[in-house]
Structure 1
Amino acid sequence: MTSIGGHGARAPLPTLRAVLAGVALLAAASPASAQGKLDARYEVTLAGIPVGKGAWVVDIADDQYSASASGGTSGLLKAFASGSGTGGSQGRIVNGALVPQVYSATVHSKKSETIRISLAAGNIKEFSIEPEPPIDPDRIPLTDAHRRGVVDPMTGSLLRVPGSADPVSPEACRTGGAVFDGRMRYELKLDYKRMEHVRAEKGYAGPVVVCAVYFTPVAGYIPDRAAIKWLAEQRHIEAWFAPIAGTRILVPFRMMVPTPLGMGVLEATQFVSTASPPRVAKSQ
């Protein structure tokens, strides 16, 4: 799973990976005093036709977090382009901020590819792609500066809202951030659009905040790739964010991404989150 704009011009499986990871955002710092878990299931449609399914599990503890996801093509699409993928991220919670430490993603289709990233204090320590991709002279070079001050795609999809007011609010959308997915560095900016009300088949029913999403590639991409140009020009990408109970973290409940073949939509069919009681230190 990678986030919007992750690996470029291939479809439809990369579209599935993109929407399942959610939109990558820089997690804002705020006091981390609450804990919770999310168990979500998603369906992906393209022009109203089911093309994929996925699962996402997030665990927010008092001083650490983890997230894992899996997905695959389904329905009619599976007859033409079968594929699947998994991904995960782990990190610490430091002064309220989500600080990623490791990220990995594996995609299986005609070929398999695994990306691994290790981070420290928002900077990339090491990263690898297996098998190693061929060098493309048209790709915008990545520099050391492009690997600083970033989050991985999975951590980026966990949107932390600062303050003490209801996190499902317009303030949640007033953010943006830098993402590195192992191949490409890009920027994402959010703007508030509106409030909506959603109801999953199982789990959450309540308000969501809808954010417009704007994608800007920075480095590690091929400028002539049609998918990159398309995403950079889009002004109608939306992410609908719902809360993880017991925390100030929002995650995508629905995502809407225009494509040349019609609207791509990821939507939660199950969104079950539970608050966890704070950990109590044992007495001596």
Structure 2
Amino acid sequence: MMRLCLTAVTVLAGFGAATVAHADGRLEARYRMSLGGLEVGRAALVIEVDDNSYIASGSGRLTGVVQAVSPGKGTAGARGVVARGTLGPRAFAMEAESDKKKEAIRLVMNGGGVAQMAVMPPVGASPDRVPVTDKDKKGIFDPMTAALIMVPGTDEPLSAKACERTLSIFDGRQRYDLVLSFERMEAVKAEKGYAGPSVVCRVAYRPVSGHKPNRTAVKYMMANKEMYVWLAPVAGTRMLVPFRAAVTTAIGVAALEAESFETEPMVGRKASPAKAAAP
């Protein structure tokens, strides 16, 4: 549950970059996480992008009854370059702490894929786990970078085109694809900040490696037809990021929704180290 809280902004929505950048903007957002209508966590996300680089930072913590049963908190962040109209991830880090364990992941990347990685605790050897190969670490995005959607071309970014993609993600333990398809357009409104249209994408989960195919949870997610993400724009850019996400589970709908979604252009400003405030 802690890991879901920490990476919900990125993994639940799990998106990759497309082609044309045109990005000079900043987003600061705060999210509420719920399960079956009950709050289970809070998360915060800060993104800054300019013509040459991007920085993203997130934090999360469990709240309410879940916190009383199993307290947890953590942070995640990524940085990279913007070159030839694409996002190039260079570093990703995630740390999570609960009452049972601590977890940390570090990825260093270049144009060819993952150059260095450290995962603690290490992934244990298991005969029923699909091994992650060197090929699986190429042509991928880390989960945080994958939260940034760049819509190519000159047409309105908030369109069906934003959902027309298959995203390749490696989180240090597993390699998987998220297949997006257009569902509808829908208006959204945060308590503070953005109010306007969003594009809703249906999401399908396709594991590639690092998973155990016979696990019930893996089979359930592969067959799950009720996973959606609502994408909203970052001012001054062609970038869209998650405003809301929802996944139907066996015990209710797991949802992530922005309570505040404050965004502004950054033309003429250089991206600075982004730090997400405590959610």
Normalising to structure 1: TM-score of the pair?
0.91
Counterpart of 1:44 in structure 2 is: 33
* 1:119 matched to 2:109: yes
Letter in 1 for 2:200: V
Aligned-residue sequence identity (percent) comes to: 41
Whether contact under 8 Å (1:100, 1:122) holds in the other structure is no
- Please give the per-residue CA displacement for 1:151-184, whole angstroms capped at 9, x wherever unaligned: 1111011011001121111111111121100011
Aligned ranges 1:1-284 → 2 under 5 Å: 12-21=1-10, 22-30=12-20, 32-109=21-98, 110-278=100-268
Letter in 2 for 1:50: E
Whether contact under 8 Å (1:88, 1:105) holds in the other structure is yes
- Please give the per-residue CA displacement for 1:59-98, whole angstroms capped at 9, x wherever unaligned: 0011000100000100111111211121000000011101
- Please give the per-residue CA displacement for 1:103-130, whole angstroms capped at 9, x wherever unaligned: 0111101210100011111511111112
The structural deviation recorded for 1:18 is 4.1
Counterpart of 1:6 in structure 2 is: none
Tell me how far apart the structure 2 counterparts of residues 19 and 134 of structure 1 sit (CA, whole Å): 24
Whether contact under 8 Å (2:91, 2:108) holds in the other structure is yes
Letter in 1 for 2:47: V
Q: Measured at CA, do residues 130 and 15 of structure 1 come closer, stay the same or move farther in structure 2, by a change above 3 Å?
A: closer
The structural deviation recorded for 1:231 is 1.2
The structural deviation recorded for 1:142 is 1.1
> How many residues are aligned here?
268
Tell me how far apart the structure 2 counterparts of residues 279 and 44 of structure 1 sit (CA, whole Å): 32
Tell me how far apart the structure 2 counterparts of residues 188 and 244 of structure 1 sit (CA, whole Å): 22
User: For structure 1, which runs of at least 5 residues remain unmatched after alignment?
Assistant: 1-11
Tell me how far apart the structure 1 counterparts of residues 201 and 15 of structure 2 sit (CA, whole Å): 11
Tell me how far apart the structure 2 counterparts of residues 219 and 38 of structure 1 sit (CA, whole Å): 33
Whether contact under 8 Å (2:123, 2:173) holds in the other structure is no
Q: Measured at CA, do residues 230 and 14 of structure 1 come closer, stay the same or move farther in structure 2, by a change above 3 Å?
A: farther
Tell me how far apart the structure 2 counterparts of residues 153 and 119 of structure 1 sit (CA, whole Å): 13
The structural deviation recorded for 1:228 is 1.7
Q: Which runs of 4+ in 1 moved over 6 A?
A: none
Normalising to structure 2: TM-score of the pair?
0.93
SS in 1 for 2:254: strand
Whether contact under 8 Å (2:14, 2:147) holds in the other structure is yes
Whether contact under 8 Å (1:122, 1:151) holds in the other structure is no
Tell me how far apart the structure 2 counterparts of residues 228 and 33 of structure 1 sit (CA, whole Å): 37
Letter in 1 for 2:2: L
User: What root-mean-square deviation, in Å, do the aligned CA atoms of Structure 1 and Structure 2 show?
Assistant: 1.4
Q: Measured at CA, do residues 111 and 215 of structure 1 come closer, stay the same or move farther in structure 2, by a change above 3 Å?
A: same
Whether contact under 8 Å (1:33, 1:278) holds in the other structure is no
Tell me how far apart the structure 2 counterparts of residues 104 and 227 of structure 1 sit (CA, whole Å): 25
Counterpart of 1:5 in structure 2 is: none
